[in-house]
Structure 1
Amino acid sequence: MIIERDLPIPMDDGLQLRADVYRPDLAGPVPVIMTMGPYGKGVRYQDHHYKPSWDWMTSRHPDLLPGSQRRWLTWETVDPEIWVSWGYAVVRVDSRGAGRSPGFLDILSERETLDYYHAIEWAGVQPWSTGKVGLNGISYYAINQWHVAALQPPHLTAMIPWEGAADTYRDFFRHGGILSNKFLENWYPRQVLSVQHGNPDAPPDIWLNESSSGPEELSKEQLASNRLATLANARARELEDEWYRRRSPDWSKVVTPFLSAANWAGYGLHPRGNFSAFTNAASEHKWLEAHPGRHEEWFYLEYGMKLQKRFFDFFLRGEQNGWDGEPRVWLHLRRPFTEAVQLRKEEAWPLAGTEWTKLYLDAGDRSLAWEPPAAKGVTSFAATVDHLKWTSPPLESETEFTGPLALKLFLSSSTVDADVFVTLQAFAPDGHEVEFQGTVDPHTPLAQGWLRASHRKLCAERSTPYQPYHTHNEKQPLIPGQIYELDVEIWPTCIVLPQGYRIALDIRGSDFARENGDAGSPHRGSGPWLHDDVFDRPAMIFQGTTTLYTGPEHQSHLLLPIVPNRLSRESDTKDLGSLTELDVKAG
């Protein structure tokens, strides 16, 4: 392997970004796997704030990445030892203002996206490159793939955005119009500002034996003046404006072949973007894959590695391995209280033949029923203190729920606004809740959704019955006591529930939480994606009383994606038995 550190990549404005390159010691050129981001190319996965994640991965998967000594791993990027041995060059670039690249730090900005364009084009013309560049990475390294693909760099050939948000407003900063502040308050200082270029307190780059943030040492005042105040902008911008839109992809211009890999339990950040890309991007060659597990887990497991290799071998190396004949949607079906999953391949999302089925809310007894209630009902709760739980009768047979969901509510508030937090749950006959290891939270429920009542305005062109799309371009305050109709988007789920299990719906005016009877502490069920900013949610508005209405005139209901006649198809279903037993054709 040939390793080159801190190579300069010139930008159109004269600034130079810095890159590390790992490539085979071969005479001929090879295709490229690239990432660019703000996490510091010189910060090892095994060290510093990433160490707990590394320890979790290696304790759970001690045979992780067989054939590699794991010497050059960084957070959420590919392992050079494996990919170089497969005949690829691996290029890691520090984005402008981060790590060892100087400049003004502005995450997910148009400037950063343009820089990525130039970096791709640089890699495409190097003497060791075939001119075919692929992008592959998790989270931030997936999000900015959507952005740069819309610029259509000539050398960008294929990409794998693994668990990557897309719509900066709806997926990332504001859920249903509500500021997702807690994640920003923790993630941005810990993972981005800690390696801002010139930060004297940045962790060391152990491969260069220098600072991971470059040779400059800037004061706190200089660092602050050399970056955008991202959280302050998100806090000040309640409605979607050009600032958000410039940080989101134009799907009509995303034509690069891609494999969009989503996590079923990533509520609060990524999976909505993966599903949106598949349904909206202009690319003729696109695939959707959905899996369970922790955020970074399946990317590095044997299944994920074989999947990535086969995709890139086809598009970057021209190997005729049959990838172009694969069905476009790969789903891993989840079942309660087991890590065993089933892979089933489909051709469309949402799935063809989905039976969109309504479960009606009845305020009289807090139930969910397959038929609308005959009598009207009214029930109220203190928005930030109480919650309402609605429960269905036992399922009469095994039932699969796979797809996006939506909730229609008829609501009034004692104040001029109300935030609605919706959580889909399921319970076994003995009362145990069905929950899964999420991307971060080990107690993730089946699905979640959010909506600020004053943001209830829908886009007529983009909304569907199963996925409401809110414009977020104007605020429509409530008149206290007046009833309003709300349509709440709930992010997609996948679960096969046995006969006798119950569906439950939790509705409240603050983040979902459940009490753990053993420890007496809340298990959030939504990880770090919390919404408690006092500026965005002032008490005088959001600590009122919320009232829900049901019955013939107010048919509040949950729309469920029931998938019939799929579970017995042996030809495309395989019982895994564990997270790593999937046999994926490697070509």
Structure 2
Amino acid sequence: MIKKTNAIFWIACFITSITLAQEKVKPIFENGEAQIVPEFEDPSKWIRHDLWVETEFDTDGDGKPDRMHVDVTRPEQTETQGLKLPIIYESSPYYAGTAGLGEGIFWNVNQELGETPKERVHPEVVRRGERPVISNSQVGTWVPRGYIVVHSSSPGTGLSDGSPTVGGDNESLAPKAVIDWLNGRAKGYTERTGDEEVKAYWSTGKVGMTGTSYNGTIPLAAATTGVDGLEAIIPVAPNTSYYHYYRSNGLVRSPGGYLGEDIDVLYDFIHSGDESKRAYANKTVRDTEMRNNLDRITGDYNDFWAGRDYLNDMKPMKAALLMSHGFNDWNVMPEHSYRIYKKAEEMGLPTQIYYHQNGHGGPPPLRMMNRWFTHYLFGIDNGVEEDPKAWIVRENDNPQEPTPYPNYPNPEAKEVTLYLSKGAPKTGGLNIEKQNNQGKETLVDNYSFSGETLAQAEYTDHRLLFVTPPLKEEVHLSGISTIKIKLASSKPAANLSVWMVALPWTEGRNTKITDNIITRGWADPQNYKSITESEPLKPGKFYELSFDLIPDDQIIPKGQQIGLMIFSSDKNFTLHPEPGTELTIDLDETSINIPVVGGEAALKKAIE
């Protein structure tokens, strides 16, 4: 009897062991989020390999379709158990290194407006990186949670064929080809020039893309192709229009922190591809297409810039969109996300937006990204599509704890018009009620003084500053401010810069300088009719123009004043013409609309 019992016991153990061996490891979901799976967690057991995906374009002039270098990181169960998983995909022009920021690579901004700029230095990139790993970004977060992570170097960078075009069609079609390969519609090869094919047999075909800055632009670029399989994207601080990055309402304007950068500078900065093919790309892209069309003389919008504005390409897009941006990002300014978010919403696409109060970069909290990808890539019904559409990190709050709102701008925000009253060279008033017969005031351009310095100056003729009374209650601004201005210039060309600031400087607020800057805007008065057409100003003649400032959502504390500052050259953003140009502002015909939560009643209560 004992022997028989022991035999039954060992047979049961054997059967159990076989059952366990046959049991496949699967992703785990709790509270609508993919959880870390212990069997996926050990990096030593991940399978890592690289390949080249064939595209439908040839941008290096060799007569053959360009191939994109791709790497894959996946759990071993995709090989040993036949497990198929969705993909998190990031593409970049930066993985193989950049040219650095050496002397002379930027355009010299010390020039008169409308003049031909002096030539600059063209650096060469020395490629770095070893196969098969292109990048380690995303892998530590998503592979343990049951995703496969894929990277690719964008055209003309790293071991990818082709040429960088900085927003050209090939930078949309390259990630499309990779997504097509993940769905069995394009060919992948083990070598850059070989013919041994690689299949993505471990892919479910469901792809989500994310990345920051240029790496955040590429998910949007891919989505505008309408490629099947790209289910969701999370662009972080993406550049969605190279015109809006390097120009502003007809004005040549640098991105914050990179004075003198332009699209051809970025081209040189990222061009780390095959050295033997760089000469062809330099000639056809940089020295012909870019040089003939970027137009640092007038700053006008043209077909070249229109072809690098993803807002114009969104019609085929169907991917769910979660945008992320910082309101104090003066490099890739938050208008880049706002304009795409509003268009996607208008198209009926699933959309959410996350804004924080810091600078460049800053993804949404992991739980937000996890819920987004879990729903759209795994098909888990977690209700993410019913979540609030806007998530905003309030002042001094933890970026991981944003405040939910029904939408952005805040639906309760209404435009309030503020009018100017004289006060130069000190400060004038910013009033809800219009005060007529305020006359005209003049400022003198001098780029030597920064905007921060001018905003703090008690007395100066280099800017005009208009302020509200001190706020008796906090005021919540949410959305876009629009200025209407009537001005005359003493010269045929002039810079125009507008800041909204909170005063007194830093008092009662954080210590960061940008905390006092509510929003900014720049324009070329020569483009008073249109950003596509400029004309020289007749000295002394008055012109009317209107333009938007950068989107914002900010609570101005009690005790502060809201200020509108008008000046000419912005030291850290515009060209630097010789000081002395005079701008005369007609105060009676100049006003600004600001988006106040609670509208005019709320602002009146705060300042009266």
> What TM-score, normalized by structure 2, do the two folds share?
0.71
CA distance in 2, matches of 1:393, 1:3: 64
CA distance in 2, matches of 1:15, 1:223: 13
Report the AA paired with residue 259 of structure 1: L
Where does residue 284 of structure 1 map in the other structure?
349
From 197, 200, 205, the counterpart of 2:272: 197
Q: CA deviation at 1:157?
A: 0.8
Query: What's the RMSD between the two structures over aligned residues?
Result: 3.2
From 319, 333, 339, the counterpart of 2:380: 319
Where does residue 7 of structure 1 map in the other structure?
51
Structure 1: gaps (5+ residues):
50-71, 199-215, 458-470, 513-523, 525-529, 566-587
CA distance 1:561–1:442, shift in 2 (3 Å): closer
Q: CA deviation at 1:561?
A: 1.1
Structure label with greater radius of gyration: 2
Where does residue 542 of structure 2 map in the other structure?
483
Report the AA paired with residue 229 of structure 2: H
Where does residue 374 of structure 1 map in the other structure?
436
Where does residue 129 of structure 1 map in the other structure?
203
Q: CA deviation at 1:196?
A: 2.3
SS of 2:222's equivalent in the other structure is: helix
CA distance in 2, matches of 1:294, 1:446: 13
Does the aligned pair in 2 maintain the 1:165–1:271 contact within 8 Å? no
SS of 1:333's equivalent in the other structure is: coil
CA distance 1:217–1:115, shift in 2 (3 Å): closer
Does the aligned pair in 2 maintain the 1:331–1:344 contact within 8 Å? yes
CA distance in 1, matches of 2:367, 2:495: 43
Q: CA deviation at 1:410?
A: 1.4
From 542, 562, 582, the counterpart of 1:545: 582
Where does residue 449 of structure 1 map in the other structure?
521
SS of 1:480's equivalent in the other structure is: coil
From 396, 408, 417, the counterpart of 2:484: 408
Matches within 5 A, 1:231-250: 233-236=293-296, 238-249=299-310, 250=313
Per-residue deviation, residues 338-389 of structure 1 (Å, max 9, x unmatched): 7789733223333212121122111345221221123322111112352222
Where does residue 151 of structure 1 map in the other structure?
225
CA distance in 1, matches of 2:394, 2:478: 8
Does the aligned pair in 1 maintain the 2:330–2:359 contact within 8 Å? no
From 446, 449, 461, the counterpart of 1:384: 446
Residues paired across the two proteins, number: 473
Q: CA deviation at 1:226?
A: 6.8
Report the AA paired with residue 272 of structure 1: E
Matches within 5 A, 1:50-65: none
Does the aligned pair in 1 maintain the 2:494–2:568 contact within 8 Å? yes
From 179, 184, 190, the counterpart of 2:252: 179
Per-residue deviation, residues 413-460 of structure 1 (Å, max 9, x unmatched): 1122332111111024x87385675xxx86672211111112122xxx
Matches within 5 A, 1:436-475: 445-457=517-529, 471-475=530-534
CA distance in 1, matches of 2:237, 2:223: 16
CA distance in 1, matches of 2:263, 2:517: 26
Q: Are 2:411 and 1:356 aligned?
A: no
> What TM-score, normalized by structure 1, do the two folds share?
0.73
SS of 1:228's equivalent in the other structure is: helix
SS of 1:432's equivalent in the other structure is: coil
Q: CA deviation at 1:241?
A: 1.6
CA distance in 1, matches of 2:259, 2:172: 20
Percentage identity across paired residues of the two chains: 23
CA distance in 2, matches of 1:424, 1:265: 13
Q: CA deviation at 1:290?
A: 0.9
CA distance 1:543–1:23, shift in 2 (3 Å): farther
Q: CA deviation at 1:259?
A: 0.4
Does the aligned pair in 2 maintain the 1:398–1:496 contact within 8 Å? yes
CA distance in 2, matches of 1:393, 1:246: 46
CA distance in 2, matches of 1:444, 1:33: 38
Where does residue 271 of structure 1 map in the other structure?
334
Structure 2: gaps (5+ residues):
1-44, 58-64, 102-132, 185-199, 448-461, 600-608
CA distance 1:562–1:220, shift in 2 (3 Å): same
CA distance in 2, matches of 1:168, 1:408: 25
CA distance in 2, matches of 1:18, 1:308: 26
Q: CA deviation at 1:543?
A: 5.2
